[in-house]
Homo-oligomer: A and B are copies of this chain.
Amino acid sequence: MRVVVDGEPRELRTVWLEDGAVKLIDQRRLPFELRILEARDLEEVAQAIEDMAVRGAPAIGATAAYGLALAHLQGKDLKEAADRLRKTRPTGHDLFHAIEYILQAAEKGEDPRAAAERYADEDVARCRAIGVAGAKLIREGTRILTHCNAGALATVDIGTVMAPLRAAKARGRRFFVYVSETRPRLQGARLTAWELAQEGIEHAIIVDGASGHFLARGEVDLVLVGADRIAANGDTANKIGTYAKAVLAKENRVPFYVVASTSTIDFSLPSGDKIPIEERSPQEVLHFEGTLAAPKESPARNPAFDVTPAKYIKGIITERGILPPGQLARLRAPPRRARAPARPRKARRKRD
């Protein structure tokens, strides 16, 4: 993504490996400060994930991939490093997908760093393909509702939900985005609004409770949300508040799409009720930017994700096209690639 650092425009990814450190945009500081955090060993990488300096399932996956590469460079045991990273956050699937990707590459004798770089590049390529697949849903004047941040910052670059928006914008289309602020951590207001502002896409921030109002008034044509883990039947875990939007969209006959890379699909889970839901600190609900916003004696509950059953989802926009949630099984087979027919099957499989 193109960002301005110290007055200079610069092309940045969300996460990369450089000078013996995993470097990442510290997403807790945006939109007020663009700071690059340097995680100098595996533990610092794990903490950056736990503390949400980096967040978004695909971005967490790439961070874990680079974290393993860093651990290997520093002579650490790859499997122990993987065990540490698996404990950081339970809900998103890309974390586990990326860890397996690097471990399998290493088992085949590949350098973990090269594997991590390829993993990150593939994430970018998937997002680009998602943009092509999804852009057709965005017409002149389409009014879109989104939630949380499924932008460049939630991936290595480009984003999932943001990919069709960027593609449609590049084609000269004008459209409008309602940005649900996404309490408790305000990734919508802080990150998605920032990305939209950088792209010059018209938008307005709304409180999470206002989504239903705009849907019921016929002021939303399309709902696009990201995903943290998609079960084999299409049930989707995403940021808390997603399920409400899905039910409200269906009630008001507005199409609701999940936008995600296939790296987010967990074919080992038949349905969403087995997706582990992370419950984070109550302090995230009770405080804002360090300021207490509730009586000091009041407790809070803070589930970070909810599960949207497949029946509310019209389609899942992936790098391999838009599928109804019931047809995800088709993606278990490796993609047919017309451009590389001679490529050995094994090598292709590894890429997905």
Contacts and interface: CB of A to CB of B under 8 A. Distances in A.
Interface in A179-201: 179-184, 186, 189-190, 193-194, 196-197
Interface string A310-322: 0000000000000
B286 A289 contact: no
18 contacts: A147-B209, A182-B209, A186-B294, A190-B293, A193-B294, A197-B298, A203-B299, A206-B302, A209-B239, A210-B302, A212-B244, A212-B306, A213-B243, A213-B277, A288-B291, A289-B291, A289-B293, A291-B291
Count class of interface residues, chain A: 35 or more
A336 to B, nearest CB: 38
Contacts of A298: 179, 189, 193-194, 196-197, 203-205
8 nearest A-B pairs in the assembled complex, by CB-CB distance: A209-B241, A212-B244, A183-B207, A213-B306, A193-B298, A189-B294, A31-B295, A205-B300
A297 interface: yes
Contact of A303 (B189, B196, B213, B291): B213
B210 A207 contact: no
Interface of A: 31-32, 147, 178-184, 186, 189-190, 193-194, 196-197, 203-214, 216, 239-244, 247-248, 251, 277, 282, 285-286, 288-295, 297-303, 306-307
Nearest to A297: B197
Nearest to A209: B241
Contacts of A299: 203-205
Number of copies: 2
Contact of A209 (B190, B205, B208, B297): B208
Contacts of A286: 189, 205
A282 to B, nearest CB: 8
B243 A205 contact: no
Contacts of A211: 244
A22 to B, nearest CB: 26
A243 B306 CA distance: 19
A298 to B, nearest CB: 4
Given A31-B295, A197-B298, 15 more contacts: A181-B183, A183-B183, A183-B209, A186-B293, A189-B285, A189-B286, A203-B298, A203-B299, A204-B298, A205-B300, A206-B300, A207-B208, A210-B241, A251-B251, A288-B291
Nearest to A242: B209
A260 to B, nearest CB: 19
A207 B240 contact: yes
A180 to B, nearest CB: 8
A300 B214 CA distance: 13
Contacts of A216: 243, 306-307
Contacts of A210: 240-241, 301-303, 306
Nearest to A185: B207
A184 B181 CA distance: 10
Given A181-B183, A193-B295, A291-B288, A206 B301 contact: yes
